[in-house]
Chain A
Amino acid sequence: MIHIARHLWRVRDTKTRHKWRAICWATMDFATTITILIVFGGLQGLAGFLVYVERKICAFMQNRVGPNRVGPIGLLQVLADGLKFIMKEEFVPKYADKVLFIVAPAIGMVAAMLSFAVVPFGPTDDNMQNYQFVVAKNIDIGILFIFAVSSLTVYAIILGGWASNNKYSLLGGLRSSAQIISYEIPLGLSVVGVVLICGSLNLEKIIWHQATNSWNILWQPLAFLLFMVSAFAECNRLPFDLPETEQELVGGYHTEYNAMKLAFFFVGEYTHMITTSFLMVILFFGGWHLPWLADTTSPAVLKLVAFMVKMSLFILFYMLVRWTIPRFRFDQLMALAWKVFIPMALANLVAVMVVKEFGLPLWILTGVSLAIVFAAGLIVTKPRVPVGKALAAKYPVHV
């Protein structure tokens, strides 16, 4: 369709050309609309499906079977859960701030969905020859847009916690805002190095740069580590799910929520997971590029499959980590962000700047990354509190 449209775009006759151009715009808008609908539906479906996958993986790790009653191997569990959420009573606590209470989950979901607008989920190219697997094509501030919009989720959480008029909700919301704001800094700093290497904030250009050169993970392993862990924290996933620690805060910010409003929070969280998984693939693992299998000239299907497989692996990794690592304490969480990640990210950024400024080979950055990690291990985690005999000498017991 786009082929024909491009041909008709250049028709000589002015009147016909104008008519065709109008139709062209209409069809292109139409294509975008379809893409938006597919992405919107796909994301929500995937978010629901991920709940099932998460439960299955958790079960397998604990030598259990997991959901297997609804449909074959429990695949219709998604529908059952969705139906349950819809059929439940929409309950608003009596002393809650009713407007904010209802708006908060909506903000969460909108922010999560909106940030996906600029994320390419398949191959794109500059000359618009084929179908473009992205909602908003060629946004030059792609990464900035994602960070800006996904930061809005903190509003959802803190408004939800505040509007519930419940101490646990409020504490959960406060923790979450502190956590998300703290981890945005290493998240942003770790990406700057990638942006410097690729020379663009445009996600499609970053993929193309990696497809024509090499994957960023080779030169930025530290940045990847920082980005991944910060993304875990941004998504409120274990080991950083402090806002909703069951033992201390009941349900955290969504203690008072039920029915579809609760589902909105969950869909927002899982969409955030999907978006960050896509981002990790795009920024560090070459997007749709896979050497020998999905190269720049390969058919779009191969690229799409490569992209989706990589993304799924990251989502699986999210889940593996969730059911493996215990939760951090809140002061440990903050110390990790401010005392460890931000200095490491800054050091890494300086290294990238030096290498780019003096035109040094990129492999230096790999070494620098490793060096920073080991240096951090030596410096930061050195025990400062006296132990054993030293403790006895410092605090003598007077008999």
Chain B
Amino acid sequence: MPIAANEVRWVKPPTLGLLDRLYLPAIAQGLGTTIKHMFQPKVTQQFPEERPNLPANYRGLHRLNRDTDGRVKCVACFMCSTACPARCIDIVAAPSPWPDREKYPEMFVIDELRCIYCGMCEQACPCDAIELTSMFDLTGLSREEMMFDKEKLLSVFDQTAHAGKDPIRTKGGALSCASEPNV
């Protein structure tokens, strides 16, 4: 059904004055804007030398946290690998050698090439064992190299935990829900 004529609201474009119609003042104004920008401070970050100031909740490379005794904090509950939408976490659980928990991860592999860095593993983890760091410029020469196993993920913790950018978010690094009463 066509629109009734009385419902149409006609909008008139603004009438241009003589100077507007000459276009030249508008061009001069445009040149003024660009020239002004030439003398403004630059916003470029010289990347490899100058590191970006990332927000605290930046989702980069994973790490497996250690507890106060330096053991892996993970209790192999499979919550992260269940939550993972990219299915990039592969865990093999084994009976724990320590008395304070039942299981520990014998193998813990994250395929960093499949990972979509959504952070759901971090949210799913009941004992804050897996966390995302602000490391974003990881490279490798092969696919195998990008399969991060337990040792590699723990070494990421060693590198980042005290570097300042990614502090340990649990109190004192103690194991939380799985074995001890909450602190």
Contacts and interface: CB of A to CB of B under 8 A. Distances in A.
B38 A389 contact: no
22 contacts: A60-B37, A60-B39, A61-B35, A63-B37, A63-B44, A64-B43, A65-B42, A65-B46, A320-B34, A323-B34, A324-B30, A324-B31, A324-B34, A376-B22, A377-B19, A378-B18, A381-B16, A381-B21, A387-B12, A388-B11, A397-B2, A398-B2
Contacts of A396: 5
Interface of A: 57, 60-65, 320-321, 323-325, 373-374, 376-378, 381-382, 387-389, 391-392, 396-399
A388 B10 CA distance: 5
Interface in B85-129: none
B interface secondary structure, majority:
loop
B31 A63 contact: no
Contact of A378 (B5, B8, B12, B21): B21
A387 to B, nearest CB: 6
Given A63-B44, A377-B21, A399-B5, 4 more contacts: A62-B37, A64-B43, A376-B22, A392-B10
B41 interface: yes
A392 B44 contact: no
Given A325-B27, A374-B18, A64 B38 contact: no
A391 B11 CA distance: 11
Nearest to A398: B2
B4 interface: yes
Contacts of B35: 61, 320
Contact of A63 (B2, B18, B19, B42): B42
B38 A61 contact: yes
Contacts of B30: 324-325
Interface residues of B, number: 31
B31 to A, nearest CB: 5
A397 B3 contact: yes
Nearest to A225: B24
A392 B31 contact: no
Contacts of B4: 399
Contacts of B40: 63
Contacts of A376: 22
B18 A321 contact: no
B34 A64 contact: no
B39 to A, nearest CB: 8
Interface in B22-79: 22-24, 27, 30-31, 33-35, 37-44, 46
B9 to A, nearest CB: 10
B21 A63 contact: no
Contact of A391 (B10, B22, B31): B10
User: What 6 A-B pairs come out closest when comparing CB atoms?
Assistant: A388-B12, A377-B22, A381-B21, A60-B38, A65-B44, A324-B34
B164 interface: no
Contacts of A373: 22, 24
